[in-house]
């Protein structure tokens, strides 16, 4: 079955002159609309994005948009007219956000968080009214679980982020050891599910599994640098992240573990192999 607004793997069913038709074992033929289609023969499989065209027919393209149906993305308005705003989503035909799906009037040249959805005719549209699609509470996540994050708004408490296109979570300042921007896609982790079922996030994996992995990296780095590393527990978080890709908290835990095992000495301006 073909999924509209998604990536489908379809086989080349036939070629008529310059036209290429695709199909699955259970679907009707779909026209490949690429002006410069990839080299292919009947029977070859292609990964294509399937949508409904202006005439209401299924169409396919090997171009991959910035977001698929039911996903949320940070998209820029490229034009406005009497039906709504048109946004660049990576395909030749821009994505329409009708006036009725605008949380407030969109402005040309600005970017917004937009959710893609299928209307009653299975056409792909966008909406900036994303709150109705995103839950505040999460019940099935586990602490330490890896998730995809889309950075949203800054608040007095921290940075709100959208988890897996479906849930709100919060990144607190002590977890932000790298600069982030609205609309940025990041890998994150579930840090805590609070009593009210709201979700606290982290940009590094909670727990000592991350620490154990880091201790090996630190020891190898020390050996490569003649037994000394100019990174102490007082070094700036940005410097530590640049060197090891972890927070200052995790780095301090790692060098503390090495110190307890009498493998390193912690000095004022760095650490040294014992």
Write out pLDDT tens, residues 53-69. 988 899 999 999 999 99
DSSP 68-113: -TT-EEEEEEEEEETTEEEEE-SSSSPEEEEGGG-SS---TT-EEE
Residues 88 and 56 in one domain: no
**In the prediction, which pLDDT does 1 show?**
84
Hey, which residues does 135 pair with through a beta bridge?
Answer: 167
User: Strands, DSSP E only, in the chain?
Assistant: 7-16, 19-23, 30-32, 45-52, 58-61, 72-81, 84-88, 95-98, 111-118, 124-127, 146-154, 159-163, 167-171, 185-193, 199-202, 228-229, 264-267, 270-273
| Residue linked to tokens 């393209």 | 61
**Residue 163 · residue 130 · CB < 8 Å:** no
**In the prediction, which pLDDT does 206 show?**
66
- Written as six digits, the tokens of 153 are 């708004």
Residues 157 and 106 in one domain: no
CA-closest candidate to residue 167, choices 130, 119, 127: 130
What is the number of structural domains in the chain?
A: 4
267: domain CATH number is 1.10.10.10
Question: In terms of residue numbers, what domain contains 14?
Answer: 7-61
Pairwise CA distance, residues 50 & 60, whole Å? 4
Q: Which of 113-122, 171-180, 201-210 has the highest mean pLDDT?
A: 113-122
- Is residue 185 one of the residues assigned to a domain? yes
Q: How many helices (H) and strands (E) does the chain have?
A: 3, 18
Residues 167 and 187 in one domain: yes
pTM exceeding 0.85: no
**In the prediction, which pLDDT does 65 show?**
97
- Is residue 136 one of the residues assigned to a domain? no
- Is residue 1 one of the residues assigned to a domain? no
- Written as six digits, the tokens of 194 are 């609070």
**Residue 67 · residue 75 · CB < 8 Å:** yes
* Burial status of residue 116 (CB atoms within 10 A of its CB: 0-12, 13-18, 19 or more): buried
With a cut of 80, say whether residue 47 has pLDDT above it: yes
With a cut of 80, say whether residue 247 has pLDDT above it: no
With a cut of 70, say whether residue 210 has pLDDT above it: no
- Is residue 17 one of the residues assigned to a domain? yes
Name the least confident of 27-31, 91-95, 179-183, 247-251. 247-251
- Is residue 120 one of the residues assigned to a domain? yes
pLDDT tens across 61-96, in order? 999 999 999 999 999 999 999 999 999 999 999 999
Q: Which of 103-117, 168-182, 212-226 has the highest mean pLDDT?
A: 103-117
Residues 268 and 230 in one domain: yes
- Is residue 141 one of the residues assigned to a domain? no
- Is residue 79 one of the residues assigned to a domain? yes
Q: What percent of the chain has pLDDT over 90?
A: 55
**In the prediction, which pLDDT does 208 show?**
52
36: domain CATH number is 2.40.50.140
β-pairing verdict for 84-88 and 72-81: antiparallel
- Is residue 139 one of the residues assigned to a domain? no
Mean pLDDT of the chain: 90
**In the prediction, which pLDDT does 261 show?**
87
Task: Name the region of 144 (left: φ>0; alpha: ψ -120 to 50; beta: rest).
Answer: left
CA-closest candidate to residue 252, choices 199, 189, 174, 158: 174
């Amino acid at each position: 079955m073909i999924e509209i607004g998604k990536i489908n793997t379809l086989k080349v069913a036939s070629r008529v002159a310059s036209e290429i038709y695709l199909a699955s074992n259970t679907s009707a033929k779909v026209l490949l609309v690429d002006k410069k289609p990839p080299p292919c023969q009947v029977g070859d499989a292609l990964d294509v994005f399937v949508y409904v065209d202006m005439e209401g027919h299924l169409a396919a393209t090997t171009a991959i948009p910035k977001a698929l149906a039911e996903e949320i993305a940070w998209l820029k308005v490229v034009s406005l007219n009497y039906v709504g705003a048109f946004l660049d989503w990576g395909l030749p035909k821009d994505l329409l956000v009708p006036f009725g799906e605008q949380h407030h009037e969109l402005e040309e040249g600005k970017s917004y968080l937009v959710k893609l959805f299928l209307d009653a005719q299975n056409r792909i549209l966008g909406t900036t009214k994303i709150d109705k699609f995103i839950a505040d509470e999460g019940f099935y996540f586990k602490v330490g679980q890896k998730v995809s994050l889309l950075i949203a708004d800054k608040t007095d408490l921290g940075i709100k982020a959208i988890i897996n296109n479906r849930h709100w979570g919060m990144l607190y300042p002590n977890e932000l050891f790298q600069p982030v921007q609205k609309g940025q896609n990041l890998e994150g982790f579930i840090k805590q599910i609070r009593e009210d079922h709201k979700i606290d996030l982290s940009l590094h994996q909670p727990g000592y599994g991350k620490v154990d992995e880091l201790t090996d990296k630190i020891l190898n780095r020390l050996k490569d640098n003649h037994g000394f590393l100019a990174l102490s527990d007082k070094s700036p978080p940005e410097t530590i992240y640049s060197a090891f890709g972890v927070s200052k908290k995790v780095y301090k835990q790692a060098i503390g573990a090495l110190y307890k095992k009498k493998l390193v000495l912690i000095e004022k301006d760095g650490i040294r192999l014992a």
